[in-house]
Amino acid sequence: MFWGVDIGSTYTKIIGIGREREIVHSAVIPTIFNQDKIVGEYLEDKEVKMLVATGYGRYMLEDSHGAPVISEIKAHAKGAYFFEPSVATVIDLGGQDSKVIKMGELGSFTDFRMNDKCAAGTGKFLEIAANRLGLEMEVFSKAGFEHDKELTISSMCAVFAESEVISLIAKKESLANICYGVHESIASRLASMARKFVIKESETIVFTGGGALNPFLHYMLEKKLERTIVIPKHPQLMGAVGAALSGFEVF
């Protein structure tokens, strides 16, 4: 079994791929202290032919398990290509960063843009805003569809952006309208990054990461780019899938 582990800031994704390159195992677990030990315990009763790590915590597995590591960019490119071979551009929104990847041939990449300087452009800000509004993420990710006013959150800093949300709450703006403003802010940042690449009308755009599970964000991103955007079956697992597939090259 070839395993890929993507240790992200919020969740750790684990994928097991068989010799015929079929996914036979998947898991998503919270990222906490000593995550390398937790991953090791998770895999101890399983057949491990090769283990490749990616994500922010990848070097923990390299140090403790001798696992080869690959960058998140390479992992997401390989994963997206596995699910959608026609992909030309990947937009990924994780808990701690967002990135846009320009694809090359056969799952490679030629360029990328990344925002990891502030949480205002990441999934973390969605979580912060949902908590401020007292909403479960499932409700928060759909509430914007009911908006009747297009609010704007303009700050590029997560702290100040959160202050804007607090101010909107104090002004008695509706939950739906505030949710719209938060999602519009994230979608605008992602669309701006994507526009730095020349995206032809015929090219396929794939949305990955935990953020792709948010239906209103998907809708807003399509609206901003005026394009249909494909979401693979398991968008949150793209990095782990790409890492596992890299194991075939290493072995």
| pLDDT tens sequence for the chain (251 residues) | 999 999 999 999 999 999 999 999 999 999 999 999 999 999 999 999 999 999 999 999 999 999 999 999 999 999 999 999 999 999 999 988 999 999 999 999 999 999 877 888 899 999 999 999 999 999 999 999 999 999 999 888 888 999 999 999 999 999 999 999 999 999 999 999 999 997 888 899 999 999 999 999 999 999 999 999 999 989 999 999 999 999 998 76
**In angstroms, rounded to a whole number, what is the distance separating the alpha carbons of residues 192 and 92?**
13
Give the model's pLDDT for residue 223. 97
The tokens for 110 are: 């030629």
Give the model's pLDDT for residue 119. 80
Give the model's pLDDT for residue 203. 93
Phi-psi region of 107 (alpha: psi -120 to 50; beta: other; left: phi over 0): left
Give the model's pLDDT for residue 1. 95
User: Which residue segments constitute the domains of the chain, with CATH numbers given?
Assistant: 2-73+238-250 (3.30.420.40), 86-231 (3.30.420.40)
The pTM of this model reads 0.95
Quote the distance between the C-alpha of residue 42 and its chain's center.
Answer: 23
Helices (H), the chain: 35-43, 58-65, 72-83, 123-133, 137-143, 158-170, 175-194, 215-225, 238-250
Task: Give bridge partners of residue 17 from the DSSP assignment.
Answer: 2, 23
Give the model's pLDDT for residue 250. 75
The tokens for 76 are: 């997401």
Inter-residue contact 12 to 58 (CB < 8 Å):
no
